[in-house]
Amino acid sequence: MAQAARIAVELEGLVRRFGSRDVLSRISLAVPEGQITCLLGQSGCGKSTLLRLIAGVDRPDGGRIVIDGREVAGPQRFVEPEDRQIGLMFQDYALFPHLSVDDNLAFGLRDLPKSARAARVAEIAERIGITHLRDHFPHSLSGGEQQRVALARALAPKPAILLMDEPFSNLDRGLRERVRQETVSTLRQLGATAVIVTHDPHEALAVGDLIVLMRAGQIEQTGTPYEIYDAPRSLYAAEFMGPCNRLTGVWNGRALETPIGTFAGDLALNDGELALACIRPQALSIVPDGDGISARILAKTFIGESEMIDLQVHPLGEPLRMHSHFRVPMAVGARVGLKLNGAQVHLFSAPDDRDNLSQLAKT
């Protein structure tokens, strides 16, 4: 049996209020050492506030923060940011424009002797692959080069934990993916403990060893990328991690009966109660007319690696959307058959008013 990872950061009942509003409400979380943890959520959910509390640039109104076994924030204690052994990388990189790359990297090493400082700058510049940029100034660097310099500066003091706030959001898509892969590869080679804030579920799935999905100041679900995508615990989690077709059905004690099929599950409901199926677009596949469920193609959108297809299925009031990585030869308006892969169907028993489910009961 694999040994459990040590805990690098432990949060216990963290609360942060702005005025009368709770921005964070009793957040408890264990961040594993040597892994990448992604704080994921939409704008305003509290993820950046949580990062600032860990960094020490903001103070909690309640709860405790423990880094590497040492309390750094609590009812009777507050350790300043510079004494927490953390590296902080901002969304805009915050490089000092008047300093060369070399001097930017050396900025957090001022307590080291000159020779040790120079050796560490040379070491981290080589590790990140920016040795050729050491005499340049930030204004002369591309976005990807600035990102790498910011990463090197944050790692130069050998922090116990690296905190990154939307570190790839300022880059163009193609460059973003390449720089992200390079950054993650570097962090894994170093065995670094990192907490990365992102609003992008695809980025979290690609980067994180652990994903912490946040919603309205609370943790909605925590898990590995596979756990949080394949086994969402709420409709919100299911839909945030990827598109879903919503479908209302009736629970029969063992399965959810819907107009397009019956899906087994384990819901704490009485027979006859309404429940919801969340059907991933990739759970649907088109077959020749006469097989499967009868449907009609309403629209087709080619998006490069796949086609997005909208299908009308009687008696559903809303079309179903599917993604196909194979070319579908049938034209818009054609009658087709539809089959479902039940592995990508998730059932939920307690619709939340915030999910706007009330109208689905009328379907």
Regarding whether 217 and 110 lie in a shared domain, the answer is: yes
Regarding whether 178 and 65 lie in a shared domain, the answer is: yes
- CATH number, residue 295: 2.40.50.140
- Give me the percent of the chain exceeding a pLDDT of 70: 95
How many Cβ atoms sit within 10 Å of the Cβ of residue 48? 19
Query: Which whole number is the average pLDDT over 214-229?
Result: 97
Residue 42 domain-assigned (yes or no): yes
Give SS3 for 146: helix
- CATH number, residue 13: 3.40.50.300
- Residue 1 tokens read as 């049996």
Q: Determine phi and psi for 244, rounding to 5 degrees.
A: -140, 150
Of 178, 206, 236, the residue at which a domain comes to its end is: 236
The region that residue 69 occupies, defined by phi over 0 for left and psi between -120 and 50 for alpha, beta otherwise, is left
pLDDT digits over 167-186, tens only? 998 888 888 888 899 999 99
Residue 1 domain-assigned (yes or no): no
Residue 331 domain-assigned (yes or no): yes
Of 205, 236, 267, the residue at which a domain comes to its end is: 236
Regarding whether 165 and 254 lie in a shared domain, the answer is: no
Burial class, 87, CB count within 10 angstroms (exposed 0-12 / middle 13-18 / buried 19+):
buried
> Quick one: pLDDT band at residue 360, thresholds 50, 70, 90?
very low
| Parent domain of 144 | 7-236
Query: Which whole number is the average pLDDT over 290-298?
Result: 91
Regarding whether 200 and 254 lie in a shared domain, the answer is: no
Regarding whether 198 and 256 lie in a shared domain, the answer is: no
pLDDT digits over 22-80, tens only? 999 999 999 999 999 999 999 999 999 999 999 999 999 999 999 999 999 999 999 99
Regarding whether 349 and 255 lie in a shared domain, the answer is: yes
> Quick one: pLDDT band at residue 290, thresholds 50, 70, 90?
confident
- Name residues whose C-beta falls within 8 Å of residue 67's C-beta, 6 or more positions apart in sequence: 8, 9, 54, 84, 85, 86, 160, 161
pLDDT digits over 337-358, tens only? 999 887 789 999 866 555 553 3
> How many domains is the chain partitioned into structurally?
2
Regarding whether 336 and 254 lie in a shared domain, the answer is: yes
Check pLDDT > 90 for residue 329. Answer: no
Regarding whether 351 and 281 lie in a shared domain, the answer is: yes
Regarding whether 261 and 115 lie in a shared domain, the answer is: no
Regarding whether 36 and 166 lie in a shared domain, the answer is: yes
Check pLDDT > 60 for residue 362. Answer: no
Query: Which whole number is the average pLDDT over 356-361?
Result: 38
Regarding whether 255 and 229 lie in a shared domain, the answer is: no
pTM of the model: 0.90
CA nearest neighbour of 13 among 66, 56, 57, 58: 66
Q: Determine phi and psi for 175, rounding to 5 degrees.
A: -65, -35
How far apart are alpha carbons 293 and 314 in whole angstroms?
9
Residue 2 domain-assigned (yes or no): no
Regarding whether 264 and 221 lie in a shared domain, the answer is: no
Of 188, 211, 236, the residue at which a domain comes to its end is: 236
CA nearest neighbour of 226 among 203, 210, 244, 243: 210
Instruction: Please give the mean pLDDT across all residues of the chain.
Output: 91
Check pLDDT > 70 for residue 268. Answer: yes
The reported pLDDT for the residue numbered 287 is 87
